[in-house]
Amino acid sequence: MLARILSGDTPRSPILTVALLVILFVLTLAPFLFSGAQPLNVAAKICVFILLVASYDLLLGYTGIVSFAHTMFFGIGGYGAAIALSRLGPSWSALALGIFIAIAVAGMVALVIGLFSLRVRAIFFAMITLAVATAFLVLASQLSGFTGGEDGLNYSVPEILRPSFRLFEQPIFGTAVNGRIVTYYIVFFAALFGFLLLLRVVNSPFGSVLQAIRENEFRAEALGYPVVVYRSIASVVSTMMAALAGVLLALWLRYTGPDTTLSFSIMIDVLLMVVIGGMGTLYGAAIGATLMIIAENYLPALMGKLGEAAAGIPLVSSFLSADRWLLWLGILFILSVYFFPTGIVGKLRTLWQDRKSKATQKRDGGTTGEAI
């Protein structure tokens, strides 16, 4: 049963299993484990980014497609929900329409880009996506009547999702279950469902073909797989999931602007999360997204504290000030790529594999020894 839910793709490392269970446990109970807005905010962002990064890994890690337009599709999702809610009012039907249009548009744009340009070499495809994404970003900030321009859009969500709404009269485990918590669980379950769906896709017969294309495009074609068609379908599935992630972020933030969805710094974050976690494994996306979001949110504060502690030492204190957190994140990134080129998940799996094979050798060695 569990194997079926995970599509037969188990973590294959005890440390990884524990890490994933901790993430799942904390995210499931986040509203009741922490108080205050900040931790729940971080938890919701982790959910959204796990889905976004996992969908990007379908492209980069599994199919070997380098795209810089992934945040564009994230943005299409966000703006789809935002425009529908701000134009048509905060109703469920407006939200549903926004989601439907956003995901359909994302899929169609991906299909068009894919069929036209996935036959060219990887580097050219990357350039094309970069151009399209830049054009889209400019368009979103220029068409201010429609998108709110640089300021973005503020809007209301359906009543059940507002902070003032109470689901139950009495608090549960000391926490009043308000609309924010309802929204959180919508985000959480949608992200979980999307993640499991992607896990199914990468472990399906279709997923095998994607990996074959990544490994040897020429031979995949010779075996009878039309490579462009497979790449385009992968791209459509991936971008529809990115659009869903965008919708979830739009619901959570009740604001959508270029900086929350479209900016290239988010694209770079997504790339880093995939690489740190481990390309070609969706669990890597979960680990990478969680670590990076926590670092982005808590590293500055930690640095600030360390900076204060080291206030007396001239040069050290300036390196430890809160503003320097990005420098330290950069160093962490370089170290992790240097020491774990296959990402955290890849490293954990290799470690466990080595340990198991060593144990088998020892056992086999022992028996032959006795036989002699």
Choosing from 208, 318, 350, 353, the residue that interacts with other proteins (CB under 8 A) is 208
Find tokens 């009543």 and name the residue.
159
We find the least distance from the C-beta atom of residue 122 to other proteins, in angstroms, to be: 17
Task: Copy the structure tokens of residue 203.
Answer: 């472990």
Task: Copy the structure tokens of residue 229.
Answer: 């068609």
Whichever of 148 and 346 has its CB closer to other proteins, that residue is 346
Whichever of 5 and 143 has its CB closer to other proteins, that residue is 5
Choosing from 87, 120, 135, 219, the residue that interacts with other proteins (CB under 8 A) is 219
Instruction: Determine if 201 is a binding residue for other proteins (CB under 8 A).
Output: yes
Whichever of 222 and 371 has its CB closer to other proteins, that residue is 222
Task: Copy the structure tokens of residue 345.
Answer: 């998940």
**What's the CA gap between 283 and 37, in Å, rounded?**
27
Instruction: Determine if 216 is a binding residue for other proteins (CB under 8 A).
Output: yes
Question: Backbone dihedral region of 369: left (phi > 0), alpha (psi from -120 to 50 degrees) or beta?
Answer: alpha
**209-212: Cβ within 8 A, 24+ apart:** 210/58, 210/62, 210/63, 210/234, 211/62, 211/63, 211/280
The string over 308-323, giving b where at least 16 C-beta atoms fall within 10 Å of a residue's C-beta and e elsewhere, is eebeeeeeeeeebbee
Instruction: Determine if 222 is a binding residue for other proteins (CB under 8 A).
Output: yes
Binding segment (CB under 8 A) for other proteins, from list 130-138, 188-196, 227-235, 257-265: 227-235
Instruction: Determine if 109 is a binding residue for other proteins (CB under 8 A).
Output: no
Choosing from 16, 212, 249, 303, the residue that interacts with other proteins (CB under 8 A) is 212
Binding segment (CB under 8 A) for other proteins, from list 71-79, 85-93, 219-227, 255-263: 219-227
We find the least distance from the C-beta atom of residue 63 to other proteins, in angstroms, to be: 13
The string over 264-279, giving b where at least 16 C-beta atoms fall within 10 Å of a residue's C-beta and e elsewhere, is eebbebbbbbbbbbbb
We find the least distance from the C-beta atom of residue 230 to other proteins, in angstroms, to be: 7
Instruction: Determine if 19 is a binding residue for other proteins (CB under 8 A).
Output: no
Residues 47/48/51/53 CA torsion (nearest 10 deg) = -110
E strands in the chain: 153-154, 255-256
Whichever of 58 and 299 has its CB closer to other proteins, that residue is 58
From the list 259, 246, 263, the residue with the least C-alpha distance to 101 is 246
**What's the CA gap between 46 and 30, in Å, rounded?**
11
Instruction: Determine if 4 is a binding residue for other proteins (CB under 8 A).
Output: yes
Choosing from 36, 174, 205, 365, the residue that interacts with other proteins (CB under 8 A) is 205
Instruction: Determine if 211 is a binding residue for other proteins (CB under 8 A).
Output: yes
Instruction: Determine if 356 is a binding residue for other proteins (CB under 8 A).
Output: no
Instruction: Determine if 360 is a binding residue for other proteins (CB under 8 A).
Output: no
For binding to other proteins (CB under 8 A), which residues are involved? Answer: 4, 7-8, 200-201, 203-209, 211-212, 215-216, 218-227, 230, 233, 237
